Amino acid sequence: MEERLGRFGWYLACTLYPEHAERKSLSKVIGDDTPSGDTPTLEGAGLPCPMCGAEHGGKMAQRRSRFGWFLGCDRYPECKYIPKAEVPAEFKLEFDALCPVCGVEHGGKLGPKKNNKRGTYFYSCNRYPDCKTIRPRPSGATHAECGAVIGKGDEGGICTKCGARVTLPEVVVVGSVIAGGEPDPLAWVPKRPRRGAAAAGGRRAVASGLPVGMARGLGDCRRVHHGCS
């Protein structure tokens, strides 16, 4: 066995890999692999793991991924416990905001979630991956016409269910009901093309030697008239 450094920290691996894939996570603190910079001390390192500490003796250890430092159980992969990072106060909601898609039927709620790559926060359903709804930050007010929470986007208030544009006051009272706005059925329709469709169009264009737009148009013509060339 030898020590190796992976995406999620140090671990022991068999020297006969891949014939033998046995490995064991180490609680060793990462830091020696970086020639510059100080290793941060995360609060909670060395404490018993809340999930397996009592039964198996797991402890919280500092680890580093491509997104930065974090705490994880030293028994990984047997225990995959990672404490959730504290959401900054400016992004927290002081009220419950039902998910406009599954809230009534399944109790889903909108809440802040961090985009690790960008370091920003967005608001999505807490039932992910069963519900993949993403909306602007809930304002606390409710749309009178459909009863859904009103979000506050870059262009002002918008109903998170019907997409109607709503004028919000400067100070929104939580629980208030605001009327107005025409429903917009296309407000929450994804605007980006599917990657598979875009890639298929590109392959057709390369094969035909035509620009992507022209190749797609020619394909549509052939399907309709069956004789275009």
Q: Is residue 183 part of a domain?
A: no
Tokens of 75: 């028994």
Q: Is residue 129 part of a domain?
A: yes
- For residue 26, the enclosing domain spans 2-73
Tokens of 182: 């025409």
Q: Is residue 79 part of a domain?
A: no
Going by pLDDT thresholds of 50, 70 and 90, the confidence category of residue 211 is very low
- In this structure, the answer to whether residues 141 and 204 fall within a common structural domain is no
Q: Taking 90 as the threshold, does the pLDDT of residue 85 lie above it?
A: no
Give the pLDDT confidence score for residue 153 in this predicted structure: 85
- In this structure, the answer to whether residues 134 and 202 fall within a common structural domain is no
Interval 1-41: pLDDT, tens: 777 777 666 677 888 878 877 877 665 544 444 433 456 77
Query: DSSP code of 92?
Result: -
Q: Is residue 190 part of a domain?
A: no
Interval 136-148: pLDDT, tens: 999 999 999 999 9
What's the total number of domains in the chain? 3
* Interatomic CA distance for residues 57 and 35, integer angstroms: 32
Helix H or strand E encompassing 222: helix 212-225
- In this structure, the answer to whether residues 119 and 169 fall within a common structural domain is yes
Q: Is residue 83 part of a domain?
A: no
Contacts with 202 (C-beta within 8 Å, 6 or more apart), sequence order: 212
Interval 93-128: pLDDT, tens: 999 999 999 999 999 999 999 887 787 899 999 999
> How much is the pTM?
0.56
Domain end: 73, 106, 129, which one? Answer: 73
Give the pLDDT confidence score for residue 210 in this predicted structure: 46
Q: Is residue 161 part of a domain?
A: yes
Quick one: 126 exposed, middle or buried, by C-beta within 10 A (0-12, 13-18, 19+)?
middle
The CA-CA-CA angle for residues 92, 97, 103, to 5°, reads 135
